Structure 1
Amino acid sequence: MAQAQKDQENPLLNILINVLAPVLILSHCSKEVGKFYHIGPVWAMTAALALPLGYGIWHFINHKKLNIFSCVGLGAILLTGLITIYLWSSEAAKPHVALIFGLKEAIQPLLLGSLFLITHRTPSPLFRTFIYNESIFDIRNIEKVIAEKESHPDYEALIWKSTLLFFGSFCISAILNMGLAYYFLGDLTPSTPDWKEVYNSKVAQITGWGFLVIGAPLMLVGGYILFTMIGGLKKLTGLDTDRLMVPR
C-alpha cells in the first residue's frame, strides 16, 4: 500500500506546477523593473517553462516510467518554448501571433484524443485505462456474461462508440483553445509596445483558461459516456447497475 501511494502522482501538485505556478510567473514576473520579482519577459518565460519541464524529468526519474499524458504535456511545453524563441527573434512582434500560438494550443488536445483512437486495438487501450476500467466497472463479470450471450461484436461496438465520443470532446477542446488564442493574442501586432511582456501576460491567461477549456468538455462528455456505457451494458448483459459497477 505504501509503495502504491508512493507511485501515485499527486494531482494537486501536478496542477500547481504545470498550471498555476507558470500562470503566476508569467502574469506577475514579466515586467522589466519595479518589484524584486520583476525579472523581465525572457527570464519569466524561462522560469515558467522550466518548472513543468523539471517536474516531468523528476517524475520520470523517481517513478521509472513514462506517463503518456505527462509526455504530451512536456511536448507542449517544449513547443511553447520553441514558438516563443521564434516569435521573440525580432524586436517587433511578428504578424499572425494568434494563429501560430492557436495552432500549438489546438495540437495538444488533438494529439491526446488521437491516442485514444490509436491505442484502441492495442492490449492497453487508453479508454479502458481512464474510463472503462476495473476501478469503476466489474469488467470480469461483464465480459463473462458477454461471452455467455455471444454478444462480443455489440460489446466492442459500444466501446468503440464511447471512444469516439471521448475523442470528440478533445476536438471540442482544440476548437475552444484556438478561439482562446485568437481572443487573447488577436490584438498583438508589430506596433504593440512592450509586446513581450504583453505576450507573457496573454500566454498566462490562455494557460489558465485552457485548463478549464480542456477539463470542462472532458467532464461533461465523460459523464455522458458513463451514462451511455451503463445503459448499453444493461441491454447487452441483462445485469442491473449494481452488478455492473464495482461495489463502493
Structure 2
Amino acid sequence: MPEQQPSKQQNSEPVKKENTFLNLGFNLVLPILLLNKGKEWFGGQLEPYFENVAVGVLLIALAFPVVYFVYDYFKRKKYNIFSIIGLISVLLTGGIGILNIPTEWFAVKEAAIPLILGLAVMISLKTPYPLVRTLLFNPEIMHVDRVHEALREHDAEAEFEKLLTFCTWLLAGSFLLSAVLNFILARWIVVSPSGTDAFNAEVSKMMAWSWPIIAVPSMAIMIVALYKLLGGIKRMTGLELEQVLQGAEAKEVKKS
C-alpha cells in the first residue's frame, strides 16, 4: 500500500471532545422515554395534527438524534462515519413508521447498516485508504507521523501494513457480528405493525437492549484490534504507549 501521508491535523486546532452525556441523552435516553411515554404525555396535543398519534410520537422521539447530529456538527465542526450512519438509521426507522412499511424491513435495516460497514472495511483493503486508518490509526487517536517516522527508522513499514490488515479483519468481524445480532434482536423484539403504539414501544426496547447485547461485544472486538495495533507498534518501533496515544503525554506529565 502507498505510504500514509503525514497528517496536517496535528498542527491544526484540536477538535473539541464530544459531550458524552448529551450524546447518550439525545440519542438514547430521550428517544426511549418518548417512545414509551410520549402518547401519555402529549398525545392530546398531537391529535389535531396527526391522524395516527403514534406516528407523531415516533417523529418527535427520532427528532432528538437528528437535532443532536446538527448541533454537534456546528459545535465541533466535525462528523464521522458512525454519526452519519446513525443519522441514516434514525431516518430509515422514521420512514418505516410513517409509511407503514412491513415490520420485517426494520430487522433488515438494522442488519444492513453494520453489514455494509463491515463489507466496506474489507473492500477498503483493496484501496490506498483502508478504513482501519480512519477508525483506529488516525491523528485523533495516535501520533501518526511519529509512528510512521519510527517505522521507517526500524524498516518495519511492510510488517506494519500486515498488522493493519489483521486489524482490518478484526474490525470487519465486529461489524458482521453486530449485523447478525441486530437482525436476531430486531426479529425477536419488533413484531408489531409499524406506525402503532406497540411498534414504538418495541423500537424503544430494541434501542435499550442493543447496548448490552450488540454494542458491548462489538466494542470488545474493536478494543482487541486497538490493543493488537498498539502492541505491534511498540514491538516494531520501541515507542511507549504515552508516545503513541494522543493526550497520553500530558496525562503522564500531570502524574509526575
**Same fold at TM > 0.5:** yes
Match of 1:22 among 31, 34, 51: 31
Cα pair distance change 1:20/1:114, threshold 3 Å: farther
2:145 and 2:14 mapped to 1: Cα distance? 23
Counterpart of 2:164 in structure 1 is 159
Q: Alignment partner of 1:198: what SS?
A: helix
Cα pair distance change 1:242/1:64, threshold 3 Å: closer
Could you tell me which runs of 5 or more consecutive residues in structure 1 were left unpaired when the two chains were aligned.
89-93
Counterpart of 1:127 in structure 2 is 132
Cα pair distance change 1:20/1:171, threshold 3 Å: same
1:151-200 alpha-carbon deviations (Å, 9 max, x no partner)? 322211101210220121011111111111111124x379xxxx811111
2:189 and 2:38 mapped to 1: Cα distance? 19
Q: Does the 8 Å CA contact 1:23/1:48 hold for their aligned counterparts? A: yes
One-letter identity of the residue aligned with 1:58: Y
Match of 2:115 among 102, 105, 110: 110
Deviation at 1:118, TM superposition (A): 5.5
Correspondence 1:201 to 2:201? yes
Counterpart of 1:46 in structure 2 is 59
Cα pair distance change 1:18/1:36, threshold 3 Å: closer
One-letter identity of the residue aligned with 2:36: S
1:58 and 1:241 mapped to 2: Cα distance? 37
1:168 and 1:66 mapped to 2: Cα distance? 24
Cα pair distance change 1:63/1:133, threshold 3 Å: closer
Deviation at 1:115, TM superposition (A): 4.7
Deviation at 1:222, TM superposition (A): 2.3
Counterpart of 2:151 in structure 1 is 146
Deviation at 1:136, TM superposition (A): 5.3
1:185-228 alpha-carbon deviations (Å, 9 max, x no partner)? 24x379xxxx8111111010111222334421232112212332
One-letter identity of the residue aligned with 1:205: K
Deviation at 1:27, TM superposition (A): 1.2
Counterpart of 2:106 in structure 1 is 101
Counterpart of 2:225 in structure 1 is 225
Could you tell me which runs of 5 or more consecutive residues in structure 2 were left unpaired when the two chains were aligned.
1-12, 45-52
Aligned residues with identical type, % of pairs = 30
Scaled by the length of structure 2, the TM-score of the pair is 0.74
After TM superposition, the runs of 4+ consecutive aligned structure 1 residues lying more than 6 A away are: none
One-letter identity of the residue aligned with 1:222: M
Counterpart of 1:59 in structure 2 is 72
Match of 1:171 among 141, 152, 176: 176
One-letter identity of the residue aligned with 1:143: H
Deviation at 1:64, TM superposition (A): 4.5
Scaled by the length of structure 1, the TM-score of the pair is 0.76
One-letter identity of the residue aligned with 1:207: M
Cα pair distance change 1:219/1:67, threshold 3 Å: closer
Q: Alignment partner of 2:105: what SS?
A: helix
One-letter identity of the residue aligned with 1:29: G
Q: Does the 8 Å CA contact 1:117/1:167 hold for their aligned counterparts? A: yes
1:9 and 1:189 mapped to 2: Cα distance? 36
Match of 1:79 among 92, 95, 100: 92
RMSD over aligned Cα, in angstroms? 3.0
